[in-house]
Chain A
Amino acid sequence: MTGRITNFRAAGWAVALLLGVLAFTVPPCARGASAAGPSAKKDAANATANPPVVKATDADAMRVQGELRFRANCGRCHAAPQKFPPRMMATVLRHMRVRATITDQDMRLVLFYMTQ
């Protein structure tokens, strides 16, 4: 019995240590990336495996693509809205993904463009 208790205690300290290490090593951007959609989880995993090196040119290219997708998809139905705060925009785009059946990739690029 005492051995089992010791094992539990050791396991507890081990988990606490692991979580503590995780808390200070996992970059916040990788933790939060899952919000954009299911496929973003894969991106987050990749980002953790390969430290993200976001070049300005990549961001610019994504912004340009995002604007193109925005005009192509959103402009089909309505005039361009103002940019909402990022977390509102994420909700709006999830709604529009369902309503307007826009693709997963388009949604993520438009979200990037609309939150810059």
Chain B
Amino acid sequence: MGFVLLYPRRKTAFAHRQGIALPWAPALILLLSIAAYSQTADSEKPIPILTGNAGAFSFVSGGHNLIDTQINPVLLVPLGDRWLIESRANFEGQFQRPADGGPYGGPVTKHVDYAQVDYIANPYVTVTAGRFLTPFGIFNERLYPVWIRALQPDPLILGIGTTSSDGLMFRGGFSVNSAVNLNYTAYISATSIGIGSVDSERHVGGRLGFFFPGARLEVGGSWQRTLQDVRKNAFGFHMGWQPPKVPLNLRAEFARSVYGSGYWIEGLYRLGQMPFWQKQMRHAEVVGRAQQFFTGQVAWYNSPWSLPWANTREADFGVNYFLHDGLKAVASYGRQFSPLGNFNQWTYGIAYRFAIPLGPTGAR
């Protein structure tokens, strides 16, 4: 009996709900169709991308050959208008022939360079959280990828202040006036991890740079204070200059810490203006780099950073040839001078940058 009484009531309530839902259904359909239409009509809405670079190189140092193969995938996932998730990993094999002969062998390592979430709060501030590349100087953040760097051997001072960070960072770039852009970073790394693939250091620091678009000149400085073990400061300066009328790219860094100090200066000249073999020359560039490292107050074996063991000088010269967009052949010669021994360093190889869309790319 109760069932008989309840059933009509429930049916009536259902019918009422249907009556209310009826006009909302097309509203929902229209809303979804607008969202879908926005996705397809918007030709500039960012999509996820799998990009990165790969390379195969031969480093012959003092007669010993090291074959280095690596792939560094970068995943970029934009969310909405203001968010970006980005991550880069490094898979690298370094193979050498044993001293007593035999086949090449060696370790294959993997490393998470960064895995971060960026929130573009406004034109002046972007908030980054997670694991990020430490913005000390310019090489680590901007020039490190094998398809970007002009010479494949690392600068001697790269180890100073560039251990990965796990924490929070504020950064941004904006125009001060028509002649000057200011860029900055301020970060804190909260974890100290000793595991090789996700190593990090506890520190706080920042970088400030001024870019003069008219002269295409950038100058800036970095500072970092380690908050573990020996609480020490490191600081550095960087510059980059691309004269507007000459296809020249000049870059330099200086860094100083208790573990050592040094500098590198690099000049890259694109040969597109050569009056001969223009078809070939516009794909070629020559590069030279001079650098020096001085040991610091604390011995190298107490340093957590990868730095030379003695005062070292090095000069490198190289040629890069772009076979295709993102594909370049590299060759360089360098000589290193140090109390531990002088040696030649030959490098040759190939670097490739790839970019794979993970969604509809939009019409051209």
Contacts and interface: CB of A to CB of B under 8 A. Distances in A.
Interface of A: 5, 8-9, 12-13, 15-16, 19-20, 22-23, 28, 31-32, 34-41, 68-69, 71-72, 75-79, 81-82, 84-92, 94-95, 97-106, 111, 115
Best-buried of B24, B184, B218 by chain A (most CB within 10 Å): B24
B105 interface: no
Contacts of B42: 28, 31-32, 35
Describe B's contact surface by its main secondary structure. Answer: mixed
Contact of A86 (B23, B44, B49): B44
B38 interface: yes
Interface of B: 16, 19-20, 22-24, 26-27, 30-31, 33-34, 37-38, 41-49, 51, 76, 78, 81-82, 84, 86, 118, 120, 122-123, 126, 128, 141-143, 147-148, 171-175, 181, 183-185, 209, 213, 216, 218, 240, 242, 249, 270, 285, 322, 325-326, 353, 355, 357, 359-364
Nearest to B185: A101
Nearest to B120: A38
Given A31-B38, A103-B174, A5 B357 contact: no
Contact of B322 (A38, A79, A85): A79
Contacts of A81: 325-326, 353
A35 B49 CA distance: 16
A56 B193 CA distance: 56
A6 B360 CA distance: 43
A95 B148 CA distance: 15
A2 B122 CA distance: 48
Contacts of B357: 85, 87-88
